[in-house]
Structure 1
Amino acid sequence: MEYNQEYIQGLFFEKIAGTISEQDNLVAEQAILNDAGLRKFWEELKTKMEKPQGRAFLSGLDADRAWAVTRQNLHRAPVSFFRRNKWILSAAAVLVIALPLAWYIGFSGRHPLAGQQQAFKEVYLKTQQGKAVDLSGNQQITLGETQIQTKQQELSYTSGAAQSKEWATLFVPATKDYKIKLSDGTTVWMNAASSLRFPFQFGKETRAVYLTGEAYFEVAKNSLQAFVVHTSTADIQVHGTSFNVNAYTTAHFTTALVEGAVSVKKKAQQIRLKPGEEVLMSSTGFEVRPFDAQEVLSWRNGTYSFHNQPLSQIAEVLKRWFDVQIVWQSSGVSQQTFTGEIDKHLPLEVVISNLKLSSGMQAELKNRVLTFK
């Protein structure tokens, strides 16, 4: 696997800053595992940024001011790429990390994802020690005292160490979905471009996991041990229930309760849900409302149902399910609303054709870039 070195190094800056998207983070993680040169670059960057001056830099960076200086030297760069990466370019303009700025401007018009489309095609597990395990196909895998079995897009495991403190992260790339059964019997269905960090054995006090992206949980009942799902937006606490969590972004964070009871907590605010209710983020905090199970849970069957949703949100699903980049020629079209359904199992060309026929909007797919006009 050959990586676009300059693009991956750019992703590392976003990763350090905590602004990287989940899909880009998957690409960066794969590059770290597979490319010795990029792995060395990442370790050196982390070391520098963990020093006091590095942390102070990140907390006090005036990105707009640095960008104003940087853009004067970017005559050869593709405009769309640098607008998207203003923060990392600003950081590069100020940081001295033995890295010439020239690597940022070597694309000569290439799309920044050129050469990366094949980087993430299969589900994999990353151990606490950094080992990556390909989970494609049906197989049995031994990791220390843990026995892992994969079968029909599902992972289950048993650990011989009753008090094991080992953690692992399950990565599900774009276009894929996957199911995992945790040590307590909890089952988790994961949507595309998602990850779940979990322990091989839960501790005595709580059962905690960390989610990015979207997943549906059927939590094994245990009145003595709460189950907690941590996300970057809020935490969900349960004792035994079925619910869906969409945590791709803070702006569209939702938790929908199918049965049982959950509490969603963010700082001092806490909301308790009843079955049939969902909580989402609003400008003032949490908002509770009824939800349509067909719309919220249809992704588990490979379909995405939507009602009066802006095209910008629908496009994010296309991006995750079909591994494409989205380009808008007009910002107005992204706010147009649509009602319908997308079938993940159909070719993307057919999905686009159906959208065009039903809505009258214009779109073009070329080299894995979907442009809405």
Structure 2
Amino acid sequence: MEYNKEYIQGLLFEKITGTISEEDNFIAEQAIEQDAGLREFWETLLVKMKSAKGSSFLSGLDADAAWSKTGPRFNEMSDSFFYRNRRMLYGAAAVLILALPFVWYFSSTTDTTFVVPEQISKQVHLKIENGTAVDLSSDRIVTVGQTHFNANQKELSYTSGDAGPKEWATLVVPAAKDYRISLSDGTQVWLNAASSLRFPVQFGPQQAREVYLSGEAYFEVAKNPEQEFIVHTNGPDIHVHGTSFNVNAYEQGRFAAALVAGSVSATTKHQSIKLKPGQEAILERGNLQTRPFDVQNVLSWRNGTYFFHKQPLSEIATVLSRWFDVKIAWKTPEVAEQTFTGEIDKKLPIEVVIANLQLSSGIKAELKNGTLTFQ
């Protein structure tokens, strides 16, 4: 996954100073976990914070002077993270105004880049919080500490031994892949392409069962009336006791949770709605709403098929990007708004999928050097 460098740097500053919100901290944590280069950068910042040089640098900063120098720049930075969040910055100027010189200082003292190594990013892999990365592209058994991970074809299971609830791992499923995992409580999770799941190796007996999802996944949660199961996303959270549901939370501000069986609640800071089987919760302009959904359309991705009905090509192209690991470009932007009905079979070569789209719609598309261009 790619991250905007300036945006994440701003979040890391807030994280270090303790001023970050819960939502932004989740974004920062996801970025750190999913990007090996960013994680190394974050660890470098922590080391420098504790160093004599870093302490000296921070103690020598003058917030008022920094504001006088950088404040006028906000009007010039119309596309930046700081400009878009200027109200928040003004409200916490005494602390956050140090972000620009702080990030510049630490960025200028490291050669770290935010690129996941190619041999890892293209394979399903598991990241353990002790720094270990486990390639799951082939059948294998891996032991990390007290935990024995068993990767079998397209599924991961494990026994956690004496591992405690503070030990976490992240399953990363890149574009063009999908994968299944059995959690320690028996919960089954199917992850769609370009998704990740952060989970505790062992759920604590006195705590809620909490996991963090980026992307899309289908859950069959093991029933346990004594322990609530919570799925955190970059939008609303899902609260459940034992049920089957699908969550699509690829993009910030876009969210859909479809309930197949049982009972769940979708919850934001200001709103909570309870779903019945056959209903899905969606996020519209920041508000949660419910509507019926078609099970075949929502869950077909698990069988490698994507159904679409009167959907704009821009949304279809996004699925193509995730499923076939290609970049999308537009020579004629208005083409992106054209709507189509049909299906995509993930098992077919992308060239066949493109040909079918062209034959059925009359649009033109070209695949070259990993980029699919529509015109």
TM-score (norm 1): 0.77
Measure, in 1, the Cα distance between the counterparts of 2:226 and 2:104.
Answer: 52
Letter in 2 for 1:185: G
2:289 pairs with one of 274, 287, 292:
287
The answer on 1:97 being equivalent to 2:99 is no
Q: How does 1:248-327 map to 2 (within 5 A)?
A: 248-283=250-285, 285-327=287-329
SS of 2:105's equivalent in the other structure is coil
Measure, in 2, the Cα distance between the counterparts of 1:196 and 1:278.
Answer: 21
The answer on 1:29 being equivalent to 2:13 is no
Letter in 2 for 1:65: N
Contact between 1:30 and 1:119, CA under 8 Å: does it hold in 2?
no
Measure, in 2, the Cα distance between the counterparts of 1:331 and 1:363.
Answer: 13
Letter in 1 for 2:230: V
Measure, in 1, the Cα distance between the counterparts of 2:221 and 2:63.
Answer: 39
1:65 pairs with one of 61, 68, 75:
75
Structure 1: which 5+ runs fail to align? Answer: 1-7, 34-38, 69-82, 104-111
Contact between 1:11 and 1:25, CA under 8 Å: does it hold in 2?
no
SS of 1:334's equivalent in the other structure is helix
CA gap 1:267/1:55 in 2 versus in 1, 3 angstroms: farther
CA gap 1:157/1:285 in 2 versus in 1, 3 angstroms: same
Contact between 1:185 and 1:219, CA under 8 Å: does it hold in 2?
yes
Which deviates more from structure 2 when the two are superposed, residues 184-193 or residues 332-341? 332-341
Q: Deviations over 1:36-57 (max 9, x none)?
A: xxx3x55445667996979999
Contact between 1:166 and 1:199, CA under 8 Å: does it hold in 2?
yes
Contact between 2:164 and 2:201, CA under 8 Å: does it hold in 1?
no
SS of 2:190's equivalent in the other structure is strand
The answer on 1:136 being equivalent to 2:137 is yes
Contact between 1:258 and 1:276, CA under 8 Å: does it hold in 2?
yes
Which deviates more from structure 2 when the two are superposed, residues 192-201 or residues 44-53? 44-53
In structure 1, the residue matched to 2:8 is 15
Letter in 2 for 1:199: P
Backbone CA RMSD of aligned residues: 3.7
Percentage of matched positions with identical amino acids: 52
Q: Deviations over 1:304-340 (max 9, x none)?
A: 1111111111111111111111112233111111111
1:361 pairs with one of 360, 363, 366:
363
Measure, in 2, the Cα distance between the counterparts of 1:145 and 1:329.
Answer: 53
Contact between 1:258 and 1:275, CA under 8 Å: does it hold in 2?
yes
SS of 1:97's equivalent in the other structure is helix
Structure 2: which 5+ runs fail to align? Answer: 12-23, 51-57, 85-98
Letter in 2 for 1:334: A
In structure 1, the residue matched to 2:229 is 227
Q: CA deviation at 1:362?
A: 1.6
Q: CA deviation at 1:345?
A: 1.3
Contact between 1:255 and 1:278, CA under 8 Å: does it hold in 2?
yes
In structure 1, the residue matched to 2:92 is none
CA gap 1:368/1:21 in 2 versus in 1, 3 angstroms: farther
Letter in 1 for 2:227: Q
Q: CA deviation at 1:65?
A: 3.4
CA gap 1:98/1:290 in 2 versus in 1, 3 angstroms: closer
CA gap 1:99/1:234 in 2 versus in 1, 3 angstroms: closer
CA gap 1:128/1:345 in 2 versus in 1, 3 angstroms: same
CA gap 1:355/1:94 in 2 versus in 1, 3 angstroms: farther
Q: CA deviation at 1:223?
A: 1.0
SS of 1:321's equivalent in the other structure is helix
Q: CA deviation at 1:14?
A: 4.0
Contact between 1:27 and 1:119, CA under 8 Å: does it hold in 2?
no
Q: Deviations over 1:255-300 (max 9, x none)?
A: 0000001001001200100001101011261110100111100000
In structure 2, the residue matched to 1:330 is 332
